[in-house]
């Protein structure tokens, strides 16, 4: 009783620091250009940063969503009228799993201007790159389509603990 436990950190010399954070993994982000097109308007240029998702990342995210779905579906099936909740949970889980599996590239950043009104366009959060990728213009509410010039891609390695 009364015995003090000291942290491992207290026994280390001052110049030694412990890195208790997760080891960051390398992710490949690419800067490229693209065109924003809208029917009846002149296309505009856009600068885009995309993150190329590895097969391992896609498979991992797909399995996580599928596992959570298989846990949640029987639980929500306990609530009357039972079957619709289970079917809805399975359907939503299957849809999200499919999206994670198909997320080969993620748009991290975008800068360009709307072909209709000229207002700046951007992405608010990282989103799965679709082909074609529609963007919402908050000003005129048109949806310009983004098409990437993949042959102008510049590869850069970034370190991020959240992505790989
Ligand atoms: Zn616009």
150 Cα–ligand 1 center, Å: 25
What is residue 152's predicted lDDT score, i.e. its pLDDT?
58
What is residue 1's predicted lDDT score, i.e. its pLDDT?
46
31 Cα–ligand 1 center, Å: 24
113 Cα–ligand 1 center, Å: 8
What is residue 121's predicted lDDT score, i.e. its pLDDT?
93
| 12, 29, 32, 48, 129 from 153: Cα distances, Å | 46, 10, 5, 10, 15
49 Cα–ligand 1 center, Å: 21
136 Cα–ligand 1 center, Å: 8
pLDDT at 108 exceeding the cut of 60:
yes
Non-local (6+) Cβ contacts of 26 within 8 A are 157, 158, 159, 164
Quote the strand ranges of 25-161, DSSP E.
25-37, 44-52, 105-113, 120-121, 127-128, 133-134, 145-160
pLDDT at 127 exceeding the cut of 70:
yes
Model confidence pLDDT, tens digit, residues 46-56: 999 999 999 99
Model confidence pLDDT, tens digit, residues 92-101: 999 999 999 9
What is residue 29's predicted lDDT score, i.e. its pLDDT?
85
124 Cα–ligand 1 center, Å: 16
48 Cα–ligand 1 center, Å: 18
% of the chain with per-residue pLDDT over 70: 74
What is residue 163's predicted lDDT score, i.e. its pLDDT?
46
For residues 18-23, average pLDDT: 44
Tell me the pTM.
0.66
59 Cα–ligand 1 center, Å: 37
For residues 28-49, average pLDDT: 92
118 Cα–ligand 1 center, Å: 6
Distance of CA 4 to the CA centre of its chain: 46
120 Cα–ligand 1 center, Å: 8
112 Cα–ligand 1 center, Å: 11
pLDDT at 12 exceeding the cut of 70:
no
């Amino acid at each position: 009783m009364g015995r003090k436990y000291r942290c491992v950190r207290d026994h280390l010399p001052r110049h030694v620091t412990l890195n208790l954070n997760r080891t960051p993994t390398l992710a490949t982000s690419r800067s490229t250009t693209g065109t924003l097109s809208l029917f009846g308007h002149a296309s505009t240029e856009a600068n885009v940063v995309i993150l190329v998702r590895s097969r391992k990342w896609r498979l991992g995210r797909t399995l996580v969503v599928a596992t959570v779905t298989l846990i949640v579906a029987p639980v929500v099936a306990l609530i009357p009228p039972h079957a619709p909740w289970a079917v809805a949970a399975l359907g939503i889980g299957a849809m999200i799993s499919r999206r994670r599996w198909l997320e080969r590239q993620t748009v991290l950043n975008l800068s360009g201007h709307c072909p209709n009104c000229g207002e700046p366009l951007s992405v608010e959060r990282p989103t799965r790159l679709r082909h074609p990728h529609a963007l919402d213009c908050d000003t005129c509410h048109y949806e310009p389509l983004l098409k990437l010039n993949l042959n102008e891609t510049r590869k850069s390695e970034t370190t991020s603990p959240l992505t790989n």
